[in-house]
Amino acid sequence: MAHANRFTRMHEHEVGEAHDSSSSGGFISGDNGMMNHNNLSFDVENVGNHHETSVAAAAAAAADSGGGGSSGGIPPQRESLHTEFAHQRASTDFIIQKKATKDRCILLVGVGIGIFVSLIALLIAAFVYEGVVGGGPNNNNNNNNNNKKTSSSQQFSTSGTSVNSHVGCHLEPTNSHVSFLVVGDSGRMGTHNQTEVANAMAMCADNLRPNFIVHTGDIFYPAGLRDDVNKRNSDFAASFTVPYNHDSLQVPWWCVLGNHDYGDGCGDSVKGEFKLDKCPERGEGRSPLNTLSKDLRRRDKRFFVERNYDVRVSADVHIFFMDTNPLIDEYKLEAWGEADVVRGGLRSSETPTPRFILNKLQSELQQSNARWKIVVAHHPMYSNGKHGEFKELQQLLLDILIDNNVAMWFNGHDHDLQHFAIDRSTKTLVTHDDATNRDRTDTSSTLLHSFTSGAGSKTGRGFPGKLKSVYQMDLPGFMSVKVRDDTASVSLFDYMGAHLHTHDLKRPAER
């Protein structure tokens, strides 16, 4: 598949030069000073003319009188004129010098104010664009930004090495590997940095040449695709086809459903009653069945989503996609899950039950002989983000994943980038240093790695959780994954294409 390089790779944020009216005023004052100086020069010229006339008259008078006066001396009349002229010239020079000094002072003050205002503007811009990193206790991330206080406002970072220079986005020297990108929680019609993340993904894909792209859910905000066919097609194009139209992203996209794809956000539950405040007409309703429609695949052949499915990528790599929405306890009482409100909702007959989902996953994992098993879902087992950890998923899934040698778990839901490592024997989280040392020294991995990639557009929620994490960053971005024979690497990048974090891991031992 051809991968052209005709697209812009990065969006740089420029800070414009600050201009202040006080600075302009300084120059205006300087202009007035120059005008006064010209007037003063004109007065000096008049004084000189008067002097020449007086001297000529005195000389004529002296000639008529026969050159009276002392020999070689200055006649009294000329001496008086010289003295008068000297006084006037000195007075004029003093006024000119005083004016010029005033003009220079005004100019210097204006320039100083301009420089000061510019520095303040640059400091404000640097603060706004500074990245926010959160960290759980005992995190030892070797990341200087990790102890910064998080903020609810959107904050960015351009620190890190360029995506073009990092191995996480470089093609392997051999073809005996599988590579792919992971993004989630993106579908905002190109807004909230979705377009910027897409551009950074394309820049990475130009070099990596991924086999496919994984989407961790919430493909279409605010509540899935609309029932109206024309509006549905328009929303699909605006949130998927157009933002990801780069040549290097023309590969299969394998997606899972998020809670917003199910209709969450279409209305509010108020004291047990459903209020369609965001979908005022039932005809404007949203439904997961719209996202699951085969018609979308005909409109864009890259797009593929089902509730639960698996893809054998190669002889060694097998990926399992699961729908975790029916497993979430807090959704069981949500009105948007009612079948008569949202077609194909959580409690409709078309939606698989939790028992079916878990049995299907366990059976398929047991039957797979792939050396690398990867599971993709929407909701996190562990998270320090706004939504936090889902303990019901830990209870339902940890044993299944560990017993069947799953190496990596990818999810979205929280709008950030996170990495957790779970000890397979104790089922507890380990720190950054512990995870790094184990994967460097152990012959096979003793850890299950969990990654949150939900930063495809809107971020900025911070990290209120305090779980031990290997790494976490509250920035728009995505991940790249490369799987080799016995090792794999996962790299995190922000929306500008700056490299944030890479972890090299080993394949779990055969059980």
In terms of Cα–Cα distance, which of 487, 491, 184, 509 is closest to 317? 487
Residue with tokens 């029932």: 227
Say how far residue 33 (Cα) sits from the centre of its chain: 49
Per residue, the 3-state secondary structure of 331-349, as one string, reads HHHCHHHCCCCCCCCCCCC
192 is known as an active-site residue: no
Whether 446 and 422 have beta carbons less than 8 Å apart is answered as no
- In sequence order, what are the residues at sequence separation of 6 or more whose Cβ sits closer than 8 angstroms to the Cβ of residue 51? 81, 85
Whether 435 and 140 have beta carbons less than 8 Å apart is answered as no
Q: Which two tokens stand for residue 195?
A: 């377009």
Q: Which two tokens stand for residue 420?
A: 């957790």
Whether 266 and 336 have beta carbons less than 8 Å apart is answered as yes
In terms of Cα–Cα distance, which of 498, 490, 510 is closest to 178? 490
Q: DSSP label at 454?
A: -
Whether 333 and 272 have beta carbons less than 8 Å apart is answered as no
Q: Which two tokens stand for residue 298?
A: 């005909």
d(CA 346, CA 353): 9
Q: DSSP label at 226?
A: B
Amino acid at 229: V
Q: Which two tokens stand for residue 463?
A: 């990290």
Q: Which two tokens stand for residue 21?
A: 């009216």
**Sheet with 309-312, edge to edge strand ranges:** 309-312, 317-321, 372-376, 406-411, 447-453, 417-423, 471-473
Q: Which of 166, 192, 215, 387 is catalytic?
A: 387
What number of other Cβ atoms are within 10 A of residue 44's Cβ? 14
- In sequence order, what are the residues at sequence separation of 6 or more whose Cβ sits closer than 8 angstroms to the Cβ of residue 106? 26, 29, 30, 33
d(CA 187, CA 271): 30
Q: In 3-state terms, the chain is what percent helix, strand and coil (to 5)? A: 40, 15, 45
Whether 223 and 260 have beta carbons less than 8 Å apart is answered as yes
- In sequence order, what are the residues at sequence separation of 6 or more whose Cβ sits closer than 8 angstroms to the Cβ of residue 417? 452, 453, 454, 455, 471, 472, 473, 474, 475, 477, 479, 492, 500, 501
Ranges of H-type helices in 270-389 = 288-291, 294-299, 354-367
Cα dihedral sign, 472-478-482-483: positive
Q: Which residues are catalytic?
A: 387
